[in-house]
Structure 1
Amino acid sequence: MFAADSSALCARREARLSERRKWVKVFEACDEDNKGYLSREDFKVAVVMLFGYKPSKIEADSVMSAINSNTSGICLEEFIKLMEKKKAAQLYQNEVRQIFTAFDRQYRGFLTLEDFKKAFRQVAPRLPDRIVLEAFREVDQDSDGHVSFKDFEYAMNYGQNEA
Protein backbone atom coordinates (compact mmCIF):
# COMPACT_ATOMS: atom_id res chain seq x y z
CA MET A 1 0.00 0.00 0.00
CA PHE A 2 2.79 2.42 0.89
CA ALA A 3 4.52 1.73 -2.44
CA ALA A 4 1.34 2.59 -4.35
CA ASP A 5 0.93 5.83 -2.37
CA SER A 6 4.59 6.66 -2.94
CA SER A 7 4.44 6.04 -6.69
CA ALA A 8 1.26 8.14 -6.98
CA LEU A 9 2.98 10.96 -5.08
CA CYS A 10 6.01 10.75 -7.38
CA ALA A 11 3.76 10.77 -10.46
CA ARG A 12 1.94 13.89 -9.21
CA ARG A 13 5.25 15.61 -8.43
CA GLU A 14 6.59 14.74 -11.90
CA ALA A 15 3.39 16.05 -13.50
CA ARG A 16 3.75 19.33 -11.60
CA LEU A 17 7.40 19.61 -12.66
CA SER A 18 6.44 18.88 -16.26
CA GLU A 19 3.73 21.58 -16.14
CA ARG A 20 6.20 24.04 -14.64
CA ARG A 21 8.77 23.31 -17.37
CA LYS A 22 6.07 23.88 -20.00
CA TRP A 23 5.05 27.19 -18.40
CA VAL A 24 8.70 28.33 -18.27
CA LYS A 25 9.16 27.49 -21.97
CA VAL A 26 6.02 29.40 -22.92
CA PHE A 27 7.10 32.35 -20.75
CA GLU A 28 10.50 32.40 -22.46
CA ALA A 29 8.93 32.08 -25.92
CA CYS A 30 6.55 34.98 -25.24
CA ASP A 31 9.28 37.16 -23.70
CA GLU A 32 10.89 37.64 -27.11
CA ASP A 33 13.12 40.56 -26.08
CA ASN A 34 14.30 38.77 -22.90
CA LYS A 35 12.92 41.59 -20.75
CA GLY A 36 12.36 39.23 -17.83
CA TYR A 37 8.62 39.87 -17.81
CA LEU A 38 5.54 39.51 -20.01
CA SER A 39 3.70 42.57 -21.19
CA ARG A 40 -0.07 42.57 -21.48
CA GLU A 41 0.11 41.36 -25.11
CA ASP A 42 2.78 38.76 -24.26
CA PHE A 43 0.51 37.43 -21.52
CA LYS A 44 -2.40 37.08 -23.93
CA VAL A 45 -0.24 35.11 -26.37
CA ALA A 46 0.96 32.85 -23.54
CA VAL A 47 -2.62 32.07 -22.47
CA VAL A 48 -3.53 31.25 -26.08
CA MET A 49 -0.55 28.90 -26.27
CA LEU A 50 -1.37 27.15 -22.99
CA PHE A 51 -5.16 27.17 -22.83
CA GLY A 52 -6.29 27.76 -26.40
CA TYR A 53 -8.26 30.94 -25.90
CA LYS A 54 -7.54 34.67 -25.95
CA PRO A 55 -8.13 36.26 -22.54
CA SER A 56 -10.82 38.91 -22.42
CA LYS A 57 -9.99 42.56 -21.77
CA ILE A 58 -11.42 42.11 -18.26
CA GLU A 59 -9.19 39.10 -17.53
CA ALA A 60 -6.09 40.86 -18.88
CA ASP A 61 -6.93 44.03 -16.89
CA SER A 62 -7.40 41.97 -13.75
CA VAL A 63 -4.06 40.22 -14.16
CA MET A 64 -2.15 43.38 -15.00
CA SER A 65 -3.64 45.30 -12.08
CA ALA A 66 -2.66 42.53 -9.66
CA ILE A 67 1.04 42.48 -10.54
CA ASN A 68 3.78 44.19 -8.60
CA SER A 69 3.62 47.89 -9.42
CA ASN A 70 7.46 48.08 -9.49
CA THR A 71 7.60 45.99 -12.68
CA SER A 72 6.44 46.63 -16.22
CA GLY A 73 4.82 43.23 -16.58
CA ILE A 74 4.41 39.74 -15.19
CA CYS A 75 7.63 38.14 -13.97
CA LEU A 76 8.22 34.39 -14.30
CA GLU A 77 7.20 33.44 -10.75
CA GLU A 78 4.01 35.52 -10.94
CA PHE A 79 3.25 33.90 -14.30
CA ILE A 80 3.73 30.40 -12.88
CA LYS A 81 1.44 31.17 -9.93
CA LEU A 82 -1.22 32.51 -12.32
CA MET A 83 -0.95 29.41 -14.53
CA GLU A 84 -1.27 27.12 -11.49
CA LYS A 85 -4.50 28.90 -10.56
CA LYS A 86 -5.81 28.74 -14.14
CA LYS A 87 -5.00 25.03 -14.34
CA ALA A 88 -6.80 24.34 -11.04
CA ALA A 89 -9.84 26.32 -12.23
CA GLN A 90 -9.82 24.40 -15.52
CA LEU A 91 -9.70 21.07 -13.67
CA TYR A 92 -12.58 22.16 -11.43
CA GLN A 93 -14.56 23.23 -14.50
CA ASN A 94 -14.01 19.79 -16.05
CA GLU A 95 -15.19 18.10 -12.85
CA VAL A 96 -18.37 20.20 -12.80
CA ARG A 97 -19.01 19.27 -16.44
CA GLN A 98 -18.53 15.55 -15.61
CA ILE A 99 -20.97 15.75 -12.69
CA PHE A 100 -23.58 17.48 -14.85
CA THR A 101 -23.14 14.86 -17.57
CA ALA A 102 -23.54 12.07 -15.00
CA PHE A 103 -26.84 13.65 -13.87
CA ASP A 104 -27.99 14.16 -17.49
CA ARG A 105 -28.46 10.49 -18.32
CA GLN A 106 -30.60 11.18 -21.38
CA TYR A 107 -28.08 13.67 -22.85
CA ARG A 108 -30.64 16.44 -23.25
CA GLY A 109 -28.37 19.26 -22.13
CA PHE A 110 -30.55 20.07 -19.11
CA LEU A 111 -31.62 18.40 -15.88
CA THR A 112 -35.12 17.77 -14.57
CA LEU A 113 -36.32 17.09 -11.06
CA GLU A 114 -36.45 13.41 -11.97
CA ASP A 115 -32.74 13.53 -12.96
CA PHE A 116 -31.94 15.05 -9.57
CA LYS A 117 -33.98 12.40 -7.74
CA LYS A 118 -32.26 9.53 -9.59
CA ALA A 119 -28.80 10.93 -8.91
CA PHE A 120 -29.48 11.60 -5.24
CA ARG A 121 -31.00 8.12 -4.78
CA GLN A 122 -27.66 6.68 -5.85
CA VAL A 123 -25.37 8.90 -3.80
CA ALA A 124 -27.60 9.62 -0.78
CA PRO A 125 -30.45 7.09 -0.73
CA ARG A 126 -31.74 8.21 2.67
CA LEU A 127 -31.94 11.87 1.81
CA PRO A 128 -35.60 12.96 2.06
CA ASP A 129 -37.31 13.85 -1.24
CA ARG A 130 -38.15 17.30 0.12
CA ILE A 131 -34.42 18.11 0.44
CA VAL A 132 -33.83 17.01 -3.17
CA LEU A 133 -36.79 19.13 -4.26
CA GLU A 134 -35.41 22.14 -2.36
CA ALA A 135 -32.00 21.64 -3.97
CA PHE A 136 -33.58 21.43 -7.42
CA ARG A 137 -35.66 24.57 -6.85
CA GLU A 138 -32.57 26.41 -5.63
CA VAL A 139 -30.71 25.57 -8.84
CA ASP A 140 -33.73 26.06 -11.15
CA GLN A 141 -33.72 29.81 -10.69
CA ASP A 142 -36.31 30.57 -13.39
CA SER A 143 -38.65 27.75 -12.24
CA ASP A 144 -39.04 26.32 -15.73
CA GLY A 145 -38.41 22.74 -14.58
CA HIS A 146 -35.06 22.58 -16.38
CA VAL A 147 -31.55 23.17 -15.06
CA SER A 148 -29.07 24.12 -17.79
CA PHE A 149 -25.35 23.55 -17.46
CA LYS A 150 -24.85 27.27 -16.80
CA ASP A 151 -27.37 27.15 -13.93
CA PHE A 152 -25.74 23.99 -12.58
CA GLU A 153 -22.25 25.49 -12.88
CA TYR A 154 -23.37 28.66 -11.11
CA ALA A 155 -24.86 26.60 -8.27
CA MET A 156 -21.69 24.54 -7.93
CA ASN A 157 -19.51 27.64 -7.84
CA TYR A 158 -21.87 29.51 -5.51
CA GLY A 159 -21.91 26.51 -3.16
CA GLN A 160 -18.09 26.42 -3.19
CA ASN A 161 -17.91 30.07 -2.19
CA GLU A 162 -20.42 29.63 0.63
CA ALA A 163 -18.51 26.77 2.27
Structure 2
Amino acid sequence: MFFSQAGARPRTWQPSPSEHKQWGKVFKACDEDNKGYLSREDFKVAIVMLFGYKPSKIEADSVMSSINPNSSGILLEEFLNIVRKKKEAQLYWNEIRHIFTAFDRHYRGYLTLEDFEKAFRQVAPKLPERIILEVFREVDQDSDGLVSFKDFEYAMNYGQNEA
Protein backbone atom coordinates (compact mmCIF):
# COMPACT_ATOMS: atom_id res chain seq x y z
CA MET A 1 0.00 0.00 0.00
CA PHE A 2 1.43 3.31 -1.09
CA PHE A 3 0.30 5.45 1.82
CA SER A 4 1.33 2.88 4.41
CA GLN A 5 4.86 3.19 3.01
CA ALA A 6 5.00 6.89 2.26
CA GLY A 7 2.31 8.48 4.39
CA ALA A 8 2.61 11.93 5.84
CA ARG A 9 4.22 12.04 9.24
CA PRO A 10 3.29 14.69 11.76
CA ARG A 11 6.38 16.53 12.83
CA THR A 12 7.05 17.01 16.47
CA TRP A 13 6.31 20.61 17.09
CA GLN A 14 7.32 22.81 19.98
CA PRO A 15 5.64 26.09 20.84
CA SER A 16 7.62 29.29 20.71
CA PRO A 17 8.43 30.88 24.06
CA SER A 18 5.74 33.52 23.41
CA GLU A 19 3.09 30.86 22.68
CA HIS A 20 4.10 28.95 25.80
CA LYS A 21 3.82 32.15 27.82
CA GLN A 22 0.40 32.92 26.29
CA TRP A 23 -0.86 29.44 27.23
CA GLY A 24 0.33 30.00 30.80
CA LYS A 25 -1.54 33.31 30.91
CA VAL A 26 -4.71 31.63 29.65
CA PHE A 27 -4.32 28.96 32.33
CA LYS A 28 -4.01 31.64 35.04
CA ALA A 29 -6.93 33.63 33.64
CA CYS A 30 -9.17 30.54 33.63
CA ASP A 31 -8.05 29.25 37.03
CA GLU A 32 -10.86 30.76 39.05
CA ASP A 33 -9.96 31.34 42.70
CA ASN A 34 -6.27 30.56 41.96
CA LYS A 35 -6.73 26.86 42.80
CA GLY A 36 -3.64 25.83 40.85
CA TYR A 37 -5.66 23.69 38.45
CA LEU A 38 -8.43 23.96 35.88
CA SER A 39 -11.80 22.42 36.52
CA ARG A 40 -13.76 20.93 33.66
CA GLU A 41 -15.54 24.27 33.04
CA ASP A 42 -12.29 26.23 33.38
CA PHE A 43 -10.75 23.94 30.77
CA LYS A 44 -13.62 24.55 28.35
CA VAL A 45 -13.20 28.32 28.68
CA ALA A 46 -9.44 28.01 28.12
CA ILE A 47 -9.98 26.02 24.92
CA VAL A 48 -12.45 28.64 23.68
CA MET A 49 -9.86 31.34 24.36
CA LEU A 50 -7.05 29.47 22.58
CA PHE A 51 -8.81 27.64 19.74
CA GLY A 52 -12.09 29.49 19.27
CA TYR A 53 -14.46 26.58 19.89
CA LYS A 54 -16.14 25.00 22.89
CA PRO A 55 -14.98 21.41 23.45
CA SER A 56 -17.65 18.74 23.17
CA LYS A 57 -18.70 16.70 26.19
CA ILE A 58 -16.77 13.76 24.73
CA GLU A 59 -13.58 15.81 24.37
CA ALA A 60 -13.90 17.23 27.89
CA ASP A 61 -14.61 13.73 29.30
CA SER A 62 -11.56 12.38 27.48
CA VAL A 63 -9.29 15.09 28.85
CA MET A 64 -10.63 14.81 32.38
CA SER A 65 -10.22 11.04 32.40
CA SER A 66 -6.62 11.35 31.17
CA ILE A 67 -5.40 13.45 34.10
CA ASN A 68 -3.99 12.19 37.36
CA PRO A 69 -6.93 10.77 39.36
CA ASN A 70 -5.45 12.15 42.59
CA SER A 71 -5.70 15.75 41.37
CA SER A 72 -8.82 17.88 41.44
CA GLY A 73 -8.32 19.16 37.92
CA ILE A 74 -5.84 19.86 35.15
CA LEU A 75 -2.50 21.12 36.44
CA LEU A 76 -0.48 23.66 34.45
CA GLU A 77 1.99 21.13 32.98
CA GLU A 78 -0.86 18.82 31.94
CA PHE A 79 -2.67 21.76 30.37
CA LEU A 80 0.42 22.87 28.44
CA ASN A 81 0.90 19.33 27.13
CA ILE A 82 -2.76 19.06 26.06
CA VAL A 83 -2.62 22.41 24.27
CA ARG A 84 0.67 21.50 22.54
CA LYS A 85 -0.85 18.24 21.25
CA LYS A 86 -4.00 20.03 20.05
CA LYS A 87 -1.90 22.66 18.26
CA GLU A 88 0.29 19.95 16.70
CA ALA A 89 -2.81 18.10 15.45
CA GLN A 90 -4.23 21.36 14.10
CA LEU A 91 -1.02 22.10 12.20
CA TYR A 92 -0.94 18.55 10.80
CA TRP A 93 -4.56 18.84 9.63
CA ASN A 94 -3.74 22.19 8.00
CA GLU A 95 -0.79 20.57 6.21
CA ILE A 96 -3.04 17.81 4.86
CA ARG A 97 -5.59 20.43 3.74
CA HIS A 98 -2.81 22.38 1.99
CA ILE A 99 -1.65 19.27 0.10
CA PHE A 100 -5.22 18.45 -0.92
CA THR A 101 -5.76 22.01 -2.15
CA ALA A 102 -2.57 21.82 -4.20
CA PHE A 103 -3.95 18.70 -5.91
CA ASP A 104 -7.41 20.30 -6.33
CA ARG A 105 -6.32 22.84 -8.93
CA HIS A 106 -9.89 23.52 -10.08
CA TYR A 107 -11.22 24.12 -6.53
CA ARG A 108 -13.98 21.55 -6.88
CA GLY A 109 -13.63 20.02 -3.43
CA TYR A 110 -12.70 16.61 -4.83
CA LEU A 111 -9.89 15.08 -6.84
CA THR A 112 -10.05 13.09 -10.04
CA LEU A 113 -7.53 10.65 -11.47
CA GLU A 114 -6.49 13.46 -13.82
CA ASP A 115 -5.70 15.68 -10.80
CA PHE A 116 -3.52 12.91 -9.35
CA GLU A 117 -1.76 12.39 -12.69
CA LYS A 118 -0.96 16.09 -13.05
CA ALA A 119 0.32 16.38 -9.49
CA PHE A 120 2.48 13.27 -9.72
CA ARG A 121 3.88 14.34 -13.12
CA GLN A 122 5.13 17.51 -11.46
CA VAL A 123 6.72 15.90 -8.40
CA ALA A 124 7.66 12.46 -9.76
CA PRO A 125 7.68 12.60 -13.57
CA LYS A 126 9.18 9.10 -13.96
CA LEU A 127 6.63 7.39 -11.73
CA PRO A 128 4.85 4.71 -13.75
CA GLU A 129 1.21 5.38 -14.65
CA ARG A 130 0.16 2.10 -12.98
CA ILE A 131 1.51 3.35 -9.62
CA ILE A 132 -0.46 6.59 -9.90
CA LEU A 133 -3.59 4.59 -10.70
CA GLU A 134 -2.91 2.27 -7.73
CA VAL A 135 -2.52 5.24 -5.40
CA PHE A 136 -5.69 6.85 -6.70
CA ARG A 137 -7.67 3.63 -6.21
CA GLU A 138 -6.30 3.24 -2.71
CA VAL A 139 -7.32 6.76 -1.74
CA ASP A 140 -10.74 6.60 -3.45
CA GLN A 141 -12.43 4.84 -0.53
CA ASP A 142 -15.87 4.44 -2.12
CA SER A 143 -14.58 3.71 -5.64
CA ASP A 144 -16.68 6.47 -7.22
CA GLY A 145 -13.79 7.94 -9.21
CA LEU A 146 -13.60 11.00 -6.95
CA VAL A 147 -11.44 11.60 -3.90
CA SER A 148 -13.01 13.85 -1.27
CA PHE A 149 -10.97 15.64 1.37
CA LYS A 150 -12.27 13.06 3.86
CA ASP A 151 -10.90 10.23 1.69
CA PHE A 152 -7.60 12.06 1.28
CA GLU A 153 -7.29 12.83 4.99
CA TYR A 154 -8.07 9.22 5.88
CA ALA A 155 -5.37 7.98 3.49
CA MET A 156 -2.81 10.40 4.89
CA ASN A 157 -3.61 9.38 8.48
CA TYR A 158 -3.76 5.71 7.54
CA GLY A 159 -0.24 5.90 6.18
CA GLN A 160 0.96 7.63 9.31
CA ASN A 161 -0.69 5.11 11.63
CA GLU A 162 0.59 2.09 9.70
CA ALA A 163 4.24 3.12 9.81
Structure 1 length as normaliser, TM-score?
Answer: 0.89
Q: How does 1:1-163 map to 2 (within 5 A)?
A: 16-163=16-163
The percentage of aligned residue pairs carrying the same residue is 79
Cα deviation for residue 159 of structure 1 reads 0.9
Q: Structure 1 residue 124: deviation in Å? A: 1.1
Gaps of 5+ in 2: 1-12
Distance 1:154 1:33 in 2: 43
Structure 1 equivalent of residue 10 of structure 2: none
| Separation (CA, whole Å) in 2 of partners of 1:82 and 1:24 | 12
RMSD of the alignment, in Å? Answer: 1.4
Number of positions where the alignment pairs a residue of Structure 1 with one of Structure 2: 151
Q: Which amino acid aligns with 2:89?
A: A
One-letter code of the match for 1:74? I
Amino acid at match of 1:29: A
Instruction: Identify which of structures 1 and 2 has the higher relative contact order when contacts are C-alpha pairs closer than 8 Å and 6+ apart.
Output: 2
Distance in 2 between residues matched to 1:53 and 1:82, nearest whole Å: 15
SS at match of 2:150: helix
Cα displacement (A) at 1:54? 1.1
- Report the TM-score, using the length of structure 2 for normalisation: 0.89
> Residue type matched to 1:41 in 2?
E
Where 2:33 maps in the other structure, the secondary structure is coil
Which residue number corresponds to residue 9 of structure 1? none
Distance 1:82 1:98 in 2: 24
Letter in 2 for 1:157: N
Per-residue CA deviations over 1:1-21 (Å, capped at 9, x if unaligned) read xxxxxxxxxxx98x6110111
